[in-house]
Every structure is written in structure tokens, then in C-alpha cells.
Amino acid sequence: MGKDVIIALDFDSKEKTMAFLDQFREEKPFVKIGMELYYAEGPSIVEEIKARGHKIFLDLKLHDIPNTVKKAMAVLAGLEVDMTNVHASGTRAMMEAALQGAGNTGTKIIAVTQLTSTSQERMEKDLLIEKPLDQVVIHYAKTAAASGLAGVVCSPLEAGKVHTACGESFLTVTPGVRFADGDVGDQVRVTTPARAKELGSDYIVVGRPITQAAGPVAAYRRCMAEFVG
Ligand code: C5P
């Protein structure tokens, strides 16, 4: 896997999703299907987008007891997606169970560390985690690596430290990306595609800066030019 831009297909219907994807005539972007679209349309949306030739990151962030996650992961891996994920806060036993569930399907499983919308203040107040956020992220990443997972979802700001702690081949998939002249929205820790590249992200996940752009294809190309070069 090389550096790539993953477009977050945060739409609530198949119609809107396909209308969006129809705009891409020359490229087949790597796409992310999240909870909104998956819950609205079910597994068939994954099969249809895959049939159009896109690589898929199925972002359902599983977090439950190990046995339930193992069984759910077996179903998701059966969809032959390229990547899917769990919450690292589900602990090592849950991450190992997720891997067992996926078996040798080739689906890469990565772990969410702390959401990019979480600030130090919110983590301390709401979760009673009082360590510095970057230390928490690195600890979660090391646990994910020790469990055998392929990488983590984290902020680009943490990508370098994750690679130092877990190795260069441990994937960093990083949302929280905004153009220098764009809206931040509800994300807290953001960087530009160019900065994410400098910081060592392997994949950037970009939603609204592309999906809500006046010209989504041009915005995607701008991301690719800044991030992949
Ligand atoms: O629109 P935006 O670029 O903020 O979209 C980012 C995408 O990445 C969303 O689909 C969001 O659910 C996802 N994501 C995130 N932070 C994480 C994990 C996933 O923003 N830690």
C-alpha cells in the first residue's frame, strides 16, 4: 500500500453517493464508507462501490466484547473490503478477536486511537484520562501493534510518533485534514494535505473538503497533488 487520499463518502443514500462518484471519470478514488451510508443502505452498497472498481475502507469502528467483534468482523471481512477498523479502547483481547474474525481474507484491520474531534480537555473531563493526548495515542497504537493490527487511525500530528513507536510499515490513516483556506468544521486537530505528507501519514481521509466542494474532482486532485505529489 502506498500513500493515497481516501474520500469519506459521508452521504445518507445510495443515490447521493453514486451521483457523487459519477463525477469522477478519470480516477477511481480510494473511498471510505462510514456508519451513515452503511446503516442507510446495508452491505449491498459496499458490493456496488467495489464493483465500480474502488478500493474500500469500511469505517464502522467496532467496539464490543471480543466474541461479538470476532463474529461481526468475519461478516465484514466477507465483503472483501481493503480495510476496516475497531476502537483500540476495546482492549487487546478485542483487537486480537477482530483479527481472528477476519482470518486470512486480506482485509487490513486498523484501530481508532482517540478521535480527531477529541481535545485534551474533553478527554480529561469526559473520559477521566489525564495523560497528555499524544501519549495516550501512542499507547493505544503500541497496543494495536502488539495485537497484530495493521495500523491506526490518528491525527496527522501523531503520525511521525506512531511510526517511531510502531515501525514505518505500521499504517497511519489520518482524518482531520483541511485545506489551508478551508473550513475546520467540528474537527479539532487539523492539518493540510501537504503538512500531513511532511508528518509521515500513509493515508489521509478527507470528507467535507472534497464532498462539499463546489468542484469535488478538482478538490480531490488538489489533495492528491499536495499529499502524493
Ligand atoms: O468531513 P471530514 O473531512 O471531517 O471527514 C472525516 C471523516 O473521517 C469522517 O467520516 C469521520 O467519521 C472520520 N474520522 C475522523 N476521526 C477519526 C476517525 C474517523 O474524523 N479519528
Tell me the DSSP string of the chain. Answer: ---EEEEE---SSHHHHHHHHTT-SS---EEEEEHHHHHHH-HHHHHHHHHTT--EEEEEEE-S-HHHHHHHHHHHHTTT-SEEEEEGGG-HHHHHHHHHHHTTS--EEEEE-S-TT--HHHHHHHH---S-HHHHHHHHHHHHHHTT-SEEE--HHHHHHHHHHH-TTSEEEE--B--TTS--TT-SS-B-HHHHHHHT-SEEEE-HHHHTSSSHHHHHHHHHHHHT-
- CA-nearest residue for atom 2, ligand 1, is 207
Average pLDDT for residues 132-138, to the nearest whole number? Answer: 93
Cβ-based neighbours of 70, under 8 Å, separated by 6 or more = 97, 98, 100, 101
| Range name among 51-65, 116-130, 132-146 with the lowest pLDDT average | 116-130
Residue 185 has a pLDDT of: 77
61 catalytic per annotation: yes
Cα 96 to middle of ligand 1, angstroms = 24
Cα 59 to middle of ligand 1, angstroms = 9
- CA-nearest residue for atom 15, ligand 1, is 175
Identify which of 110, 53, 52 has the alpha carbon closest to the alpha carbon of residue 76.
Answer: 110
pLDDT over 70 for what percent of the chain?
98
Q: Give the whole-angstrom CA distance, residue 53 versus residue 56.
A: 9
Q: Give the whole-angstrom CA distance, residue 210 versus residue 223.
A: 9
How does the average pLDDT of the chain come out, rounded? 95
Cβ–ligand 1 distance for 7 under 6 Å, the answer no
Residue located via cell numbers 468544521: 185
Tens of pLDDT, residue by residue over 209-228, are 999 999 999 999 999 999 99
Cα 175 to middle of ligand 1, angstroms = 5
* Burial (CB count <10 Å: 0-12, 13-18, 19+), residue 222: middle
Ligand 1 atom with minimal separation from the 185 CA: 4
Residue 1 has a pLDDT of: 54
pLDDT above 80: residue 126: yes
One-letter amino acid at 227 equals F
| Range name among 23-37, 188-202, 208-222 with the lowest pLDDT average | 188-202
| Domains (range + CATH), the chain | 4-227 (3.20.20.70)
pLDDT above 70: residue 156: yes
Tens of pLDDT, residue by residue over 61-113, are 999 999 999 999 999 999 999 999 999 999 999 999 999 999 999 999 999 99
Identify which of 223, 194, 225 has the alpha carbon closest to the alpha carbon of residue 207.
Answer: 223
Residue located via cell numbers 461481526: 72
Q: Are 131 and 106 in contact (CB under 8 A)?
A: no
Residue 187 has a pLDDT of: 66
- Partners of 172 in the β-ladder: 152
If phi > 0 it is left, if psi is from -120 to 50 it is alpha, else beta; for residue 221 that is: alpha
Residue 227 has a pLDDT of: 98
The three grid cell numbers given for residue 64, joined into one nine-digit string: 464490543
Q: Give the whole-angstrom CA distance, residue 133 versus residue 125.
A: 13
